[in-house]
Structure formats: structure tokens, C-alpha cells
Structure 1
Amino acid sequence: METKSYVAAILSELDNSSSQLADEQLELLVERIGEAGRVFVAGAGRSGLMMRAFAMRLMHLGLDVYVVGETVTRSLAQGDLLIIGSGSGETKSIVPMAEKARSLGASVAALTLSQATTIGELADIIIQLPGAPKDQLDDESSTIQPMGSLFEQMLLLVCDAVVLRLMEKQSLSGKVMYGNHANLE
């Protein structure tokens, strides 16, 4: 297969996956982000990179947002929101963060493959994303892509869609958001 054909196949998978999303849960996440004192994001590996991209866009919206683990991240408190991106919902470095957030009275949102996980059980809001769980990576019927690629792509797209919804609710344009873009580059 040509490279261009793989791009078409990936786009087809993403299109099919978008119909599996629960809009009610996405709207809950949008509302909770708007109500949160501060927003914290966490994830590991490629999921972590997608969450960092999400944090950047939330910052462009003018929100008080932090990436867990960065040296400039403030302390989480009651009224804040921790948003976790974890396909497995069992990431050993992330589970304690969700537990700590709950103990401090913060809300937890999980973008994950299944709600029947440790992180899913700790979350107030669960956005279930399509993708192949680690124990089904050899099942080529779920995705042609390797490892967690489908989940990670859906994670980025869903986060971008949440940003678009927040922009709509706040009547913000990309031009206005650009005023928060880094200018020391």
C-alpha cells in the first residue's frame, strides 16, 4: 500500500471513531473546565504529549492551566480540575495523581479507553475514546495502526474539539487567542 493510502485509512478510522463519542460527557468536560479554578493535565508517553498540546490551547484561551510534573506547576486544590489522558486507565505514575486530586477535593476527568479501570473509577467525568487496549494490540480488526496510535490521535482531536466548544461558549476567535501565544520565540 502507498503511504497516501495509509493516510486515507487512518482518516477513515478516525471518522468512524468520532461517531462513538458520547456528546453528553464531552459537554460535562467543557462545563467543568469553565467552572474550574485551575486546570491541570496529566498523561504519560504519547498520551502525555497530547495532553501537553491541550494545555497549550487552554492557556491560549486564557485559562490558568498546568502540566503535572513541570517545575512551574502550582499545587492543586479544591475546586480545581485534573484532566488525565490514559488509554489503559492504569498508568502507574498517573493513578496516584488521581487519588491525590480526589483527596484534595478537586475534580478528575479521564479520557481513556474504558471506564472500568482504576483511573476511571476515580474520575468524576469519563470520556471513553475508541482505540485498541494493550491486550488487544494484535487484533487487527480494531485498527490498522500500531500500538496506541488511534487512541492518541482521538485524544488530540477530542481535546481540540473541546477547545473549539470553549471558544464558541466564550465567543473567542483564534485571532484573540493568538494574543496569549508565546512572544519570546
Structure 2
Amino acid sequence: MSATAAAPIPSILLELQRTLQSVDEQQVDKLADHITEAGAIFVAGAGRSGLMMRAFAMRLMHLGLRSYVVGETVTPGIAAGDLLLIGSGSGETKGLVSMALKAQSMQANVAAITVVPESSIGKLASTLVHVPAATKEAGTTAASIQPMGSLFEQSMLLILDAVILRLMERTGQHANAMFGNHANLE
């Protein structure tokens, strides 16, 4: 058994540390700016990336922001001044590219979190956070001991949690106040 297989958590933590230290903090700040300025925030992603985006929409709701997950039955239409935030490792998922184009046609802003800034979604985004991680697609430059896009997905969740901390600071909100927006019918 390899040392990595015997102790995967320290190896995963090292990968996350290496990846997150390479993320441009100015890009993260710019994303927080766009969220603050948006009328409503729509999030989208496919597969596990989509799950990370759903978690982010929940935290935005806890902050009292109008946030929606694209594809849910209660999600309204996007409008001018709104923000569509897409999480996509490859930046080439066809359905997500179509969403970005539609959002732009409605004069909404598009932001992206991706491994590939020069991807179709990356080129459509006015705000981009580049995550130098491996994706499930072959040919990405970053190596990972983890399968498929795990490193990207984990990194994206932590980056989005950092955005929440920035938004909490900007709005003067604390976790106790946010708990007032937590689901209570469970």
C-alpha cells in the first residue's frame, strides 16, 4: 500500500493547500463585488460542481440575498442586472454554455469559476475565478491523487465559503443572524 493510500487525508489537504494558495485573491474579491451589486444571483453547475453551487446558493440565502439554483421549479427568470455564476471545471459543458449565452442576451452578468479560463464559459464571463486544479477531463495540467474533478470541486466549495466570509464582513452580518434564515420546517 502506498503512503498516499494509507494516509489520504494529509495528501488531500496538501493538494487543497497548493491549489488554493494559487488562486488570485483579487479574482475572489471581484466575484464578491459582482454578487454585492447583483439584483439576484443565479447559480449553475453540472454534477458535483452543481452540488457545490447549490451549497453556495444556500449560504447566499442565509445572508438574505436573492439566490436561485438554475433548473429548480421555483427559480424565476433572469433579468438585466442579475448575475449568473457558473461552476465548471472544463468550462465547456454545453448546457452551461447555453445558459451563459442566454444570460448575456438578457443583459445579466456572467461569472465563472473554472480550471480553464480560455474555455467557452471563461470567455463569456465578465468575472472569472481561475482554479488551477485537475478536472475529470484528460489534459489538465494539475495532477491529483483524487479521482476526476474532486480537487476542483473541493477547491470551489472553499473559495465560495471565502466569498461568503467577505460578504459577511461587507454587510456586517454574523453567523447568529444568518441562522435566522436557516430552514426551520425540518
Q: Same fold (TM over 0.5)?
A: yes
Please, which runs of 5 or more residues in structure 2 have no aligned partner? none
CA distance in 2, matches of 1:146, 1:170: 38
Cα distance, 1:3 vs. partner? 6.2
Residue among 94, 97, 115 paired with 1:95 = 97
Cα deviation 1:1-26 (Å, max 9, x = unaligned): 47671001000111111111111111
CA distance in 2, matches of 1:72, 1:4: 45
- Paired residues in the alignment total 183
**Equivalent residues in 2 for 1:19-168, closer than 5 Å:** 19-133=21-135, 134-136=137-139, 142-168=143-169
Task: Report SS of the residue matched to 1:94.
Answer: helix
Task: Report SS of the residue matched to 1:136.
Answer: coil
CA distance in 2, matches of 1:128, 1:84: 12
CA distance in 2, matches of 1:34, 1:115: 23
Please, which runs of 5 or more residues in structure 1 have no aligned partner? none
* Shift in alpha-carbon separation, 1:2–1:107, aligned structure 2, 3 A: closer
Alignment TM-score, normalising by the size of structure 2: 0.95
Cα distance, 1:130 vs. partner? 2.0
**Residue type of the alignment partner of 2:80:** Q
Cα deviation 1:55-110 (Å, max 9, x = unaligned): 00000000000000000000000000000000000001111000000111000000
Does the 8 Å contact 1:130/1:154 carry over to 2?
Answer: no
Alignment TM-score, normalising by the size of structure 1: 0.95
- Percent of aligned pairs with the same residue? 55
Does the 8 Å contact 1:130/1:150 carry over to 2?
Answer: no
Q: Compute the RMSD of aligned alpha carbons.
A: 1.4
CA distance in 2, matches of 1:24, 1:2: 33
